[in-house]
Chains A and B, each alone.
Chain A
């Protein structure tokens, strides 16, 4: 792999940019791999990457039915933060956030991590108390967050109306090293690094069946033939129940549509990420100048990657009170992704009822921020059979009543 650098750009400029090599290979599937990962979203690719980087396992195929990063990874609003309430969450999300800090250098691929600060507004007394509690919890967990008052909020984000009639801003939970990254670049960067280690990324190849023998996985059937494997990782977000059904078990997961939208591009007006959980809306400004807006999930089971219009309406209506200038903006595009929701709003990184099959799912509305940490933990679990970061997120936690309840802390989709 040729490294990207300022010199490479200069050399290519003289060569009319004809000499760039393909970022990753598109090989035909082989008959067998030690590890097959289903799903080339961020989590699947990161799992493959850390299998190679941390554990020396490179006989790996990542199988994707569409194009890599075309699932939720390429559809999300890219908020990165680690200010969760429960210790296991703080551990894995902060691991991920800290890996994001140096991910561009590590992958030699600019993922445009921008730690511009994430602000979660408190607009009710209840929320203010909740976030103060989170600040204390974060302090103990070693996650840098701070409770800030309304005036500081206004300084950090001048376009905000802090004394709206219905939902005045009472303060905010502020994580200065939270922010955003370029979602496609995260998938592309990992894919390029995986390909460079000799792993196969196989796109346009749908897994249609899972083969087992005596309770152990032996391979997958795909639209491009049979592929045998020693271990199988299912990392397919909204389609996790479908793959689980192929292997003969059910998951505590329901799939629903989550939507986002962007405005026309405007001049820079907001250099932080703002989340307003009470009114179910959040917003940041992309490098292109678009206001990137998201809200809550639709309520019913859905695989259409299209949401209901009234949810968009609710989100925008709510945000306009806090950001009056939004009312003048035209919205450009709106889209949806299928998110995998668990009851406690925490992910599943786990063994499965079938020997050799491992699960990484349930990230729901908030897994982009977790990609590096999740891949790290999942790779460790698949390679060694145990991972301290992943352990609390096992499937058995439901049966044991050991929930990692982030439904309150997460509040809204992001």
Chain B
């Protein structure tokens, strides 16, 4: 079972305690943006076979959102971090790069 440590309350939560929320770090395009940007923001997803930065909610715990870096191929978790960031923190990136030197980051 997938276990993620919630950075908000520090609990190592099992998958049944968590609700997945899809791709993280989406940049919001709202009114005034081009149709292309708005469509891409709403619908298009990276859905990589490899490193995925994603949102989770500690639904049956503290209830808060947080982010995680995880491999969709091995289910290895590279780290979890607070949702109030635009990019994964340096230590998480370092752990990802250790395993995937070719990783290009969260475009």
Interface band, chain B:
20 to 34
Complex Cα gap A251–B2 (Å): 26
Residues of A within 8 A of B52 (CB): 301
Which residues, 1 to 47 on B, are CB-close (under 8 Å) to A? 1-2, 15-16, 19-20, 22-23, 35, 39-40, 42-47
**Chain B CB within 8 A of A380 CB:** no
State A399–B35 Cα separation when bound (angstroms): 7
* A304 touching B39 in the complex, CB below 8 Å, given contacts A251-B44, A252-B45: no
Flag if A299 contacts B19 (CB, 8 Å).
yes
Would A304 and B47 count as touching, CB distance under 8 A?
no
Instruction: For B46, list chain A residues within 8 Å (CB).
Output: 241, 245, 250
**Chain A residues in 8 Å Cβ range of B22:** 254, 301
Beyond the given A251-B47, A252-B43, please list 9 additional residue pairs across the A-B interface where CB-CB is below 8 A: A250-B40, A250-B45, A251-B44, A301-B23, A301-B47, A308-B15, A309-B1, A310-B16, A398-B39
Within 8 Å of chain A (Cβ to Cβ): is B73? yes
In contact, A304 and B72 (Cβ under 8 angstroms): yes
The 29 sampled A-B contact pairs (Cβ below 8 Å) are A239-B49, A241-B45, A241-B47, A241-B48, A241-B49, A250-B40, A251-B45, A251-B47, A252-B43, A252-B44, A252-B45, A253-B45, A254-B47, A255-B49, A300-B20, A301-B20, A301-B23, A301-B47, A301-B52, A301-B54, A301-B72, A302-B72, A302-B75, A303-B49, A303-B72, A304-B73, A309-B1, A310-B15, A398-B43
- A-B pair count, CB < 8 Å, reads 65
Nearest CB on A from B38, distance (A)? 8
Bound complex: CA A310 to CA B73 (Å): 19
Residues B47 and A308 in contact, CB atoms below 8 Å apart: no
A242-259, CB < 8 A from B = 242, 245, 250-255
Bound-complex Cα distance A135 to B13 (A): 44
Please report the C-alpha to C-alpha distance between residue A398 and residue B52 in the assembled complex, in whole angstroms.
Answer: 23
Inter-subunit contact A398/B1 (CB<8 Å): no
B43 adjacent to A304 (CB under 8 Å): no
Distance between Cα atoms of A335 and B42 in the complex (Å): 32
Chain B residues with Cβ under 8 A from A241's Cβ? 45-49
Residues of A within 8 A of B23 (CB): 254, 301
Determine the distance from Cα of A241 to Cα of B45 in the docked complex, in whole angstroms: 8
Q: How long is the Cα–Cα vector from A45 to B53 in the complex, in angstroms? A: 34
Q: Determine the chain B residues whose CB is within 8 A of the CB of A250 once the complex forms.
A: 40, 44-47
Closest to A242 in B: B49
**Chain A residue nearest to B15 in the complex (CB):** A308
Contact call A304/B75, Cβ cutoff below 8 A: yes
- Are A399 and B39 closer than 8 Å at their CB atoms? yes
* A399 to B15 Cα, complex, angstroms: 33
Q: From residue B72, how far is it (CB to closest CB) to chain A in Å?
A: 5
Q: Enumerate chain A residues within 8 angstroms of B54, measured Cβ to Cβ.
A: 300-301
Q: Which 6 A-B pairs have the closest CB atoms?
A: A241-B47, A252-B43, A250-B44, A300-B20, A299-B20, A399-B39
Taking chain A's interface residues, is the majority helix, strand, or loop, or is none over half, making it mixed? mixed
**Within B42-81, which residues are at the interface with A (CB < 8 Å)?**
42-49, 52, 54, 72-75
Query: B91 to chain A: closest CB distance in Å?
Result: 22
Q: Would B1 and A310 count as touching, CB distance under 8 A? A: yes
| Minimum C-beta distance from B10 to chain A (A) | 21
A310 CA / B42 CA spacing, docked (Å): 30
Give chain B residues whose Cβ lies under 8 Å from the Cβ of A130. none
What's the minimum C-beta distance from A251 to chain B, rounded to whole angstroms? 7
Cα of A343 to Cα of B44 in the assembled complex, Å: 10
Which chain B positions have C-beta within 8 A of A242?
Answer: 48-49
Whether B20 contacts A245 by the Cβ 8 Å rule is no
By a CB distance below 8 angstroms, the chain A residues around B39 are 398-399
Give Cα distance in the complex from A254 to B21, angstroms: 12
Nearest CB on B from A4, distance (A)? 39
Q: How far is the CA of A252 from the CA of B44 in the complex (A)?
A: 4
Within 8 A of B (CB), among A298-346: 299-304, 308-310, 343
Question: Within 8 Å CB of A239, what residues of B?
Answer: 49
With known contacts A299-B19, A303-B73, A399-B39, A308–B1 Cβ distance under 8 A: yes
CB closest residue in chain A, given B14: A310
Contact of A253 among B15, B40, B47 (CB under 8 A): B47
Interchain CB contact (< 8 A) of B48 among A245, A252, A308, A399: A245
Chain B residues whose C-beta falls within 8 Å of the C-beta of A304 in the assembled complex: 72-75
B43 proximity list for chain A (CB < 8 A):
252, 343, 398-399
